[in-house]
Every structure is written in structure tokens, then in C-alpha cells.
């Protein structure tokens, strides 16, 4: 049986073996830098497992999986410009380390490179895989645009927020599973069920991200807790609090969140207090559970051998049980 760690090692080795020794170096060095920034390699992992679920050969899905990881890293390089983010996984972002133009152009090159790897998939399944990937690439952009729009909006419904994280995070996880499955010989129907599982897993995963920022283990999380409150981000927790609070508390939360005269430290304490008071921790846990279960319902519709099913579950539960 394939173990997660073996698959991750395979992915990391393959990524390190990509030949990026091209000119101009100004273009390719940031790509090497971006791809070597580690991470859990979740997306390629899901692509490989998707293939394995249908008894496909892991090797057949490897380039596809690598392409998905390159695409994911491309979106991070561009998002970091748009979000003015100086750091990613503790290292300087590409646009900070080099400059913005280089980050734009290296990102574009990574996008093309992602397609190059994906296109080396077997020709008989390639059109179906490209169909879902082309759509996904667009939707990820839509998700980022909604995320940027939200910054300037006062009222965001939870429904709109869920749609944003579905697009920004969910669809790519779904796409990785589906593409891997198609590569492994899955029927269009089974591949689609797997896609739906991935999308819901992604939504659950993103709510968990918001949750851990407030209630996570600070040391293990590797960054200061409550960064989202400091950055005044409209997270799931914040929007949920506004939804369920009474009118007075609601107004008070909005005031505290946006009042520039309140110190970060004080704002964090006040907002966390309201979250706890309103039971947001438990509500968030229920929501994560709900989306995850929704995803599992789709999985049940597919016939998967016991062993491979356990591998997929061990990945998804490790995603959901992380404390950081």
C-alpha cells in the first residue's frame, strides 16, 4: 500500500528534478525559489491518490500532479503581489525578494509550465482533464477577485463567503482528485463524485484555517494567533458572529473590528471574547464537520477498494485534524 509519506517524497523528488536551468535566470530563479518553499504538497497528493483509487498507475499521474502543484504555487506568487504579503511560510514572497514585475512574469511562466506538465498525461484522458483544469483555473481567479472585493464591502453574507472559498480553495482540490481519477481510469461519473468530495473538503479545510487562526495552537501554527483579527479580515468566524449576534452585539463587533483607535492587542481580546460568548468556536466546528460529511456522502457513491479508501481518508482526516 502507498503511504502518504512515500507519495510526498515522490512528489518532492519529482519537483526537485524539474529542469529549470533556463535563461533568463531572472525569470527562472524565482520559480525554483517558489517551488522549493515546501508545504504539504496536498494538491499533488490528492491527484496521485485520485489515480490510485481506481487502480491506476501512480507514475501515470505524476506529471499531472506536479502540474497542479506548480499551478497552485503560481496563484500564490500572484496573490502575494495583490495582497501585499511580505512573507509566505516564513520566507520572503517572490515580489518582495525580487520585484513586482518579476513576480508577475515568473508567475505567468509557472502557469505555462503547469500546463506543460499536465499535458504530458496520456492523450486519451487529456481532453477531459484539461476541461476540468481550464475551468478550475478560471474559478480560482474568480475566487481571488471575490476575496479582493470583500475587502471593500461592508456586508458579506455567509453564503457569499462560502462561495468565495469554494472557488479560491475548494475547486482546485476537487480538480486534483478528479484529474487523478480520470487518469486512473475512473468513469466520468465517479470522477465527478470525487470532485464534489474535494470541493467540500476544501471548504471545510478553509473554515478550519480561519478557525485555527483564532483557536489554534500558536506554536505549532508557526505564526501569531489572531492575525486575521489584526488584519481585520472578514473570516468565516467574523461573518458568522455578525449573523448570529443580536443587533447590539453585532454593531459592537463591527465597531471594535474597524475602530482604528483600539490597539491590536485590545481588539484581539474583545473580538475573541465575543466569539466565545456567541459560541462561534462550536458553530465553526459544526460547520467544518457539516461540509466534510457532505463531501463524504459523495464518496459513498463510488466503489473504492477498502485499502485505497483508507489512504484517501487518512489524508483528509489529517487535513481536518491538524491543530496548526
Closer of 106 and 308 to a second copy (Cβ)? 106
DSSP state of 87: E
Span 54-83, contacts to a second copy by CB under 8 A: 78, 81-82
221 binds a second copy (CB under 8 A): no
To the nearest 10°, the Cα dihedral for 50, 124, 172, 88? 90
Over the range 232-242, which residues count as b (16 or more CB within 10 Å of their CB) and which as e? ebbbbbbbbbb
* Contact assessment for residue 188 and residue 146, using Cβ atoms and an 8 Å cutoff: no
Exactly one of 18, 32, 85, 105 binds a second copy (CB under 8 A); which one? 105
231 binds a second copy (CB under 8 A): no
267 binds a second copy (CB under 8 A): no
Q: How far apart are CA 15 and CA 17, in angstroms?
A: 5
104 binds a second copy (CB under 8 A): yes
Give the Cβ contact number of residue 266 at 10 Å.
Answer: 12
Beta-carbon contacts of residue 33 (< 8 Å; ≥ 6 apart): 94, 97
157 binds a second copy (CB under 8 A): no
138 binds a second copy (CB under 8 A): yes
Exactly one of 49, 137, 203, 229 binds a second copy (CB under 8 A); which one? 137
Considering only the stretches 98-106, 194-202, 224-232, 291-299, report the one whose residues sit in contact with a second copy under the rule CB under 8 A. Answer: 98-106
116-11-67 Cα angle (round to 5): 20
154 binds a second copy (CB under 8 A): no
Binding site for a second copy (CB under 8 A): 22-24, 26-27, 78, 81-82, 101-102, 104-105, 107-109, 111-113, 115-116, 119, 123, 126-127, 130-131, 134-135, 137-138, 141-142, 144-146, 148-149
Amino acid at each position: 500500500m502507498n503511504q502518504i509519506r512515500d507519495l510526498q517524497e515522490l512528489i518532492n523528488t519529482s519537483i526537485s528534478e524539474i529542469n529549470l536551468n533556463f535563461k533568463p535566470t531572472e525569470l527562472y530563479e524565482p520559480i525554483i525559489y517558489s517551488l522549493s518553499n515546501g508545504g504539504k504538497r496536498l494538491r499533488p497528493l490528492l491527484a496521485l491518490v485520485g489515480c490510485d483509487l481506481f487502480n491506476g498507475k501512480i507514475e501515470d499521474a505524476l506529471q499531472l500532479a506536479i502540474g497542479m502543484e506548480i499551478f497552485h504555487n503560481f496563484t500564490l506568487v500572484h496573490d502575494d503581489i495583490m495582497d501585499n504579503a511580505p512573507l509566505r511560510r516564513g520566507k520572503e514572497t517572490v515580489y518582495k525578494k525580487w520585484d513586482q514585475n518579476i513576480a508577475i512574469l515568473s508567475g505567468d511562466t509557472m502557469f505555462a509550465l503547469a500546463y506543460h506538465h499536465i499535458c504530458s498525461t496520456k492523450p486519451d484522458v487529456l481532453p477531459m482533464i484539461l476541461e476540468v483544469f481550464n475551468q478550475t483555473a478560471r474559478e480560482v481567479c474568480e475566487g481571488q477577485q471575490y476575496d479582493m472585493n470583500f475587502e471593500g464591502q461592508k456586508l458579506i453574507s455567509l453564503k457569499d463567503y462560502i462561495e468565495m472559498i469554494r472557488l479560491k480553495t475548494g475547486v482546485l482540490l476537487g480538480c486534483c482528485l478528479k484529474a487523478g481519477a480520470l487518469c486512473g481510469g475512473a468513469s466520468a461519473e465517479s470522477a465527478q463524485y470525487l470532485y464534489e468530495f474535494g470541493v467540500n473538503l476544501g471548504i471545510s479545510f478553509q473554515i478550519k484555517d480561519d478557525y485555527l487562526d483564532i483557536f489554534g495552537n500558536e506554536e505549532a501554527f508557526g505564526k501569531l494567533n489572531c492575525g486575521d483579527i489584526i488584519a481585520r479580515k472578514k473570516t468565516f468566524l467574523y461573518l458568522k458572529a455578525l449573523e448570529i449576534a443580536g443587533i447590539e452585539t453585532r454593531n459592537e463587533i463591527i465597531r471594535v473590528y474597524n475602530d482604528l483607535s483600539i490597539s491590536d492587542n485590545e481588539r484581539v481580546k474583545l473580538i475573541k471574547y465575543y466569539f466565545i460568548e456567541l459560541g462561534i468556536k462550536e458553530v465553526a466546528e459544526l460547520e467544518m464537520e457539516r461540509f466534510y460529511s457532505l463531501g463524504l456522502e459523495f464518496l459513498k457513491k463510488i466503489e473504492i477498494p477498502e485499502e485505497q479508501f483508507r489512504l484517501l481518508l487518512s489524508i483528509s482526516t489529517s487535513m481536518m485534524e491538524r491543530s496548526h
